[in-house]
């Protein structure tokens, strides 16, 4: 488990993990909506190869991020009240859960639809299910529910960061920045 220590800011590696995943997620969400809305064409297939590759990259980065978090010392929460602390901890846990559930459900959609996942046109990944229409439909519903939850929680997350920075004028945002 991560130790909560007397640190002024997040470690350099924690910051790098946070902003790399944030950047990839900000590309990945609009890319998913864009690719989905295209008519069947070579462009649509290319956009889905990008979407699936970036999504699998997010999975890899998040697994490394969680392994690092378990081993490292992290700063104490900044929130004033016990309820705020509990809400922030819960929101962060859900964000980690969604960052795992999204790529896994996406991988399941592709496997069940019998579309092999190829990382950046180069590395083929194994299927995690046989072809199965009902699994494909269920995984698609899970993927979309996770997308909607992620967007809602991110609005609150970014709003909370701005509230700390602009209204409360504390170091919450600064200590996550380089
Ligand atoms: C403009 C966008 C964003 C801002 C301003 C922001 C800001 C922050 C800040 C200030 C913290 C540190 C909170 C603390 O010190 O207690 C934090 C933590 C966190 N952020 Fe973000 N964030 C952004 C985007 C994202 C995105 C896109 C994700 C993932 C989907 C994300 C996931 C997390 C997680 C999981 C933590 C908790 C870290 C931990 O406890 O290990 N953030 N964020
Ligand atoms: C954090 C990672 C991911 C995010 C944020 C994300 C986000 C999205 C979004 C916003 C959409 C459009 C929503 C819609 O269908 O209406 C979408 C669709 C889709 N994504 Fe992802 N995705 C991620 C990872 C993946 C991965 C790794 C794969 C496959 C390996 C994948 C496969 C798909 C597929 C097949 C669709 C079309 C689903 C449908 O027919 O509605 N996604 N994704």
Q: List Cα–Cα distances, 5 to 40, 60, 86, in angstroms.
A: 52, 27, 18
Tell how far CA 74 is from the center of its chain. 20
Which residue lies with its CA nearest to atom 14 of ligand 1? 172
Q: Give the number of C-alpha atoms closer than 13 A to the C-alpha of residue 38, restricted to the C-beta side.
A: 14
Q: Could you list the residue range(s) of the whole structural domain that residue 138 is in? A: 3-176
Composition of the chain by helix, strand, coil, percent to 5: 70, 5, 25
Residue ranges around ligand 1 (CB below 6 Å): 18, 21-22, 25, 69, 77-78, 92, 95-96, 99, 154, 157-158, 161, 172-173, 175-176
As a whole number, mean pLDDT of residues 92-105 equals 98
Q: What is the pLDDT of residues 61-95, one digit of tens each?
A: 999 999 999 999 999 988 779 999 999 999 999 99
Q: How many domains does the chain have?
A: 1
CA 143 / ligand 2 centre spacing (Å): 6
Q: What is the CATH number of the domain that holds 14?
A: 1.20.950
Positive or negative, the Cα torsion across 129, 96, 16, 48?
positive
Would you say the pTM of this structure is higher than 0.75?
yes
Q: How far apart are CA 156 and CA 32, in angstroms?
A: 21
């Amino acid at each position: 488990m991560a130790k909560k220590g007397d640190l002024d800011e997040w470690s350099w590696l924690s910051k790098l993990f946070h902003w790399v995943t944030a950047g990839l997620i900000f590309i990945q969400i609009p890319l998913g909506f864009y690719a989905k809305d295209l008519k069947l064409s070579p462009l649509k297939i290319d956009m889905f190869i990008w979407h699936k590759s970036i999504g699998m990259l997010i999975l890899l980065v998040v697994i490394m991020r969680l392994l690092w978090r378990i081993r490292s010392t992290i700063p104490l929460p900044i929130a004033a009240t016990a309820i705020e602390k509990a809400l922030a901890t819960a929101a962060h846990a859900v964000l980690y859960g969604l960052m795992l559930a999204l790529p896994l459900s996406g991988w399941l959609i592709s496997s069940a639809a019998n579309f092999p996942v190829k990382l950046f046109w180069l590395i083929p990944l194994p299927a995690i299910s046989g072809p199965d229409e009902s699994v494909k439909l269920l995984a698609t519903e899970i993927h979309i529910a996770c997308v909607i939850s992620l967007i809602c929680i991110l609005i609150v997350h970014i709003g909370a960061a701005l509230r700390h920075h602009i209204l409360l004028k504390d170091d919450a945002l600064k200590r996550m920045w380089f």
